[in-house]
Amino acid sequence: MSPADEARDLLAQLGVTSSGTLASHSPIDGQQIGSVEEASAAAVAAACDRAQGAFLAWRTVPAPRRGELVRLIGEELRAAKEPLARLVTLEAGKIVQEGLGEVQEMIDICDYAVGLSRQLYGLSISSERASHRMIEQWHPLGPVGVITAFNFPVAVWAWNAALALVCGDPVIWKPSEKTPLCAAAVMALAGRALARFGDAPEGLLQCIQGGRDVGEALVDDPRIALLSATGSTAMGRKVGPRVAQRFGRSLLELGGNNAMIVAPSADLKLAERAILFAAAGTAGQRCTSLRRLIVHESIADGLVSRIRGLFSRISIGDPRESGTLVGPLIDEAAFEGMRRAFPAAERVDAVEGGFYVRPAIVEVDRQEGMVLQETFAPILYILRYKDIGDAIALNNNVVQGLSSAIFTNDLKEAELFQSAAGSDCGIANVNIGTSGAEIGGAFGGEKETGGGRESGSDSWRAYMRRSTNTINYGNDLPLAQGIEFAV
């Protein structure tokens, strides 16, 4: 079936009507598969108004009750897992397994957020004054703007929305203009959950589709208390200061340039599998994709030739076919980007109209030029090292700081890599690849990756404001720091 025909069936199943001026093309064959209505800047302002109204109501709904809405969203996602995953495959070009995995991340974060809705804990703090008590409470923050990229067209919304909702915040989503149908489908499913929930305020979950102007209007709106943006470092460099200018908060998930060190003691069978998935999976279009392999010189020749073998046997093609491991790049611009970084990039003739490439291996002597940049395509640079200290320095000597990994069976090396003097990334794994993080941990990275943390651990705090409360239950008014002030 052509992607266009299949999209028609899936959209009907998911309850989405396709119409409007923003066209969506499948990277599988480049053909249009549907369209959505585009928002104007005025519509963004109206959406922010509605979100602000929703906030005033939602912030006083008990958090466990807010969790009930997220539970229902999780139920809708479970029921629609297959068609939604399939739509991700059609619109983002991910293989079926990865589409299903992405929807599973949504389900997982919903479960996580439901539990969290009863655990938005504050602290109690010892006061220095007699008969005084200090606590901190976490209160809802305000409307959250969520800007997402094409490569995770549904999960990144869920990471943000599930937490924002239980934290008491409405959400306005500006999805990538390359994946508008996925966003429309998620909104349709969320709409079903809202209907079942019953009394949620109008404007609690909104989506505004369109290009850069729509995103900019959201970034600049003073009612958006938190702007969570996933995308390139170039995008974040613009968004961060604009939000800061109005003293809004931003949560940035920007580029990665993720490395893996393979030490002499490594279990090479495991390392090879991890390299294959992290470097070639999603056609190298994850922010966590493996881009640099730092191999000990004593094992480099053998390992590199085995990876070359694996890469040459990898099946590239229509992501809907079972057995395909590498689907298309998102579009022609992505292919041009790959060729700029690596002019010998091999285009594979898989499905006419799509941009399919063979994952590339490039051996380099030094970390310079394109190796320092994030190219959103499957290019794996190989560097060799002698000393573990040098390998860690190579890992860290880039401007990005998202994910990293070491394969080693040497306990000291593993600990060193994860220590304060080790990897400077937000994610530092041992005997696991750089991509495919679980939702339970905080997800994000340092330096030009933007510093934001989404998803698990205490990432929820970014979606709330902290109130420090000191209560005097005594008959006196002692001042802090022992100050005397009386007539």
Active site residues: 253
Which CA distances in Å does 97 have to 26, 55, 85, 252, 277?
18, 37, 9, 27, 12
How far, in Å, CA of 395 to CA of 425, rounded? 9
Q: How far apart are CA 106 and CA 124, in angstroms?
A: 33
153 binds ligand UN1 (CB under 6 A): no
Nearer to ligand UN1, 253 or 413 (CB): 253
CB 99 within 8 A of CB 185: no
Backbone angles phi, psi at 98, to 5 degrees: -75, -30
Q: Determine, following the binding rule CB under 6 A, whether residue 404 of this chain makes contact with ligand UN1.
A: no
Q: What residues numbered 91-130 form the site for ligand UN1, per CB under 6 A?
A: 105
Least distance (Å) from ligand UN1 to the CB of residue 371? 20
Among 160, 250, 404, 435, binds ligand UN1 (CB under 6 A): 435
Q: Is 286 in the site for ligand UN1 (CB under 6 A)?
A: yes
CB of 98 to ligand UN1, least distance (A): 10
Q: Binding of ligand UN1 at residue 360 (CB under 6 A)? A: no
Is there binding between residue 160 and ligand UN1 (CB under 6 A)? no
Does 437 engage in binding with ligand UN1 (CB under 6 A)? Answer: yes
Interaction between residue 228 and ligand UN1 (CB under 6 A): no
> Considering beta carbons, is residue 138 or 277 the nearer one to ligand UN1?
277
With beta carbons less than 8 A apart as the criterion, state whether 25 and 135 touch: no
Candidate residues 18, 35, 89, 151; the one interacting with ligand UN1 per rule CB under 6 A = 151
Q: What is the CA radius of gyration of the chain?
A: 24
Q: Does 233 bind ligand UN1 (CB under 6 A)?
A: no
Q: In the set 150, 152, 355, 460, which binds ligand UN1 (CB under 6 A)?
A: 152
| Binding window for ligand UN1 (CB under 6 A); candidates: 44-52, 131-139, 336-344, 430-438 | 430-438
Instruction: Determine if 459 is a binding residue for ligand UN1 (CB under 6 A).
Output: no
Q: Tokens at residue 124, please?
A: 């109690």
User: Does 436 interact with ligand UN1 (rule: CB under 6 A)?
Assistant: yes
SS3 letters across 120-172? CCCCEECCCCCCEEEEEEEEECCCEEEECCCCCCCHHHHHHHHHHHHHCCCEE
Could you give the C-alpha distances from 250 to 49, 189, 215, 243, 285, in angstroms and in order? 20, 27, 14, 7, 24
Q: Which stretch binds ligand UN1 (CB under 6 A): 170-178, 284-292, 314-322, 330-338?
A: 284-292
User: Helix H segments across 176-211?
Assistant: 180-197
Q: Per CB under 6 A, does 230 bind ligand UN1?
A: yes
179 binds ligand UN1 (CB under 6 A): no
Q: Which residue stretches of 221-331 are H helix?
A: 233-245, 268-275, 297-313
Backbone phi and psi for residue 441, each to the nearest 5 degrees, phi listed first: -90, 165
**Interacting residue with ligand UN1 among 287, 293, 325, 464 (CB under 6 A):** 287
Residues facing 347 on adjacent strands: 357
Q: Select 116 or 147, whichever has its Cβ closest to ligand UN1.
A: 147
Q: Which is nearer to ligand UN1, 68 or 253 (CB)?
A: 253
Size of the site for ligand UN1 (CB under 6 A): 10
Residue 29 CA to residue 7 CA, distance in Å, equals 13
Q: Segment contacting ligand UN1 (CB under 6 A): 46-54, 335-343, 392-400, 435-443?
A: 435-443
Residue 52 interacts with ligand UN1 (CB under 6 A): yes or no: no
Inter-axis angle of helices 41-58 and 212-220, to 10 degrees?
A: 40
Length of the chain: 487
Helix (H, G, I), strand (E, B) or coil at 222: coil
Stretch of residues binding ligand UN1 (CB under 6 A), selected from 90-98, 108-116, 286-294, 408-416: 286-294
Mark residues 288-327: x for contact with ligand UN1 by CB under 6 A, - for none.
Answer: x---------------------------------------
Write down the least CB distance from residue 148 to ligand UN1, Å.
Answer: 8
Nearest residue by C-beta to ligand UN1? 437
Rounded to a whole number of angstroms, the minimum distance from the CB of residue 97 to ligand UN1 is 13
Give the Cα separation of 479 and 485 in Å (integer). Answer: 8
Q: Is 100 exposed, middle or buried (0-12, 13-18, 19+ CB in 10 A)?
A: middle
Ramachandran category for residue 314: left, alpha or beta (phi over 0 → left; psi -120 to 50 → alpha): beta
Query: Contact between 150 and ligand UN1 (CB under 6 A)?
Result: no
Using CB under 6 A, list all residues that contact ligand UN1. 105, 151-152, 230, 286-288, 435-437
